[in-house]
Amino acid sequence: MAISRGCLPLVAVLVALLCPGEAAVRELKVGYYAETCPEAEDVVREAMARARAREARSVASVMRLQFHDCFVNGCDGSVLMDATPTMPGEKDALSNINSLRSFEVVDEIKEALEERCPGVVSCADIVVMAARDAVVLTGGPNWEVRLGREDSLTASQEDSDSIMPSPRANASALIRLFAGLNLSVTDLVALSGSHSIGEARCFSIVFRLYNQSGSGRPDPNMDAAYRRALDALCPRGGDEEVTGGMDATPRAFDNRYFRDLVALRGFLNSDQTLFSDNARTRRVVKRFSEDQDAFFRAFVEGMVKMGELQNPRKGEIRRNCRVANGSPSPVTSATTKPVVAYRVVHF
SS3 readout for 6-75: CCCECCHHHHHHHCCCCCCCCCCEECCCCCCCCCHHHHHHHHHHHHHHHCCCHHHHHHHHHHHHHCCCCC
* pLDDT at 330 (0 to 100): 53
- Give the global pTM: 0.87
Q: Other C-beta atoms within 10 Å of 98: how many?
A: 16
Q: Is 254 annotated as a binding residue?
A: yes
Q: What is the DSSP letter of 267?
A: S
CA pair distance 75, 127, nearest whole angstrom: 9
CA pair distance 102, 68, nearest whole angstrom: 13
Q: Which of 33, 53, 54 is nearest to 43 (CA)?
A: 33
Q: Is 346 annotated as a binding residue?
A: no
* pLDDT at 99 (0 to 100): 84
Block means of pLDDT (10 residues each) for the chain, length 347 residues?
A: 36 42 74 98 98 95 96 96 91 87 96 98 98 98 97 93 88 96 97 96 94 92 96 96 95 98 97 97 98 98 96 94 81 40 37
Q: Is 69 annotated as a binding residue?
A: yes
Q: Is 160 annotated as a binding residue?
A: no
CA pair distance 138, 140, nearest whole angstrom: 6
* pLDDT at 22 (0 to 100): 53
Q: Is 165 annotated as a binding residue?
A: yes
- Contact criterion met (CB below 8 Å) for 256 and 267: no
- The 3-class SS string of 143-190 reads CCCEECCCECCCCCHHHHHHHCCCCCCCHHHHHHHHHHCCCCHHHHHH
Annotated active-site positions, please?
68
Q: Is 72 annotated as a binding residue?
A: yes
CA atoms in the 13 A half-sphere facing the CB of 120: 18
* pLDDT at 94 (0 to 100): 85
Strands 29-30 and 199-201: unpaired
- Does CATH number 3.30.565.60 belong to domain 39-198+246-308? no
Q: What is the DSSP letter of 241?
A: T
CA pair distance 226, 345, nearest whole angstrom: 8
Q: Is 90 annotated as a binding residue?
A: yes
Dihedral sign (CA 177, 273, 207, 197): negative
Question: What is residue 344's three-state secondary structure?
Answer: coil
Residue type, 178: F
CA pair distance 23, 38, nearest whole angstrom: 27
Spans of all domains in the chain: 39-198+246-308
The H or E element containing residue 289 is: helix 279-290
Residue type, 162: S
- Contact criterion met (CB below 8 Å) for 305 and 297: no
Which residues fall within 8 angstroms of residue 180, CB to CB, at 6 or more apart? 1, 10, 11
CA pair distance 95, 31, nearest whole angstrom: 33
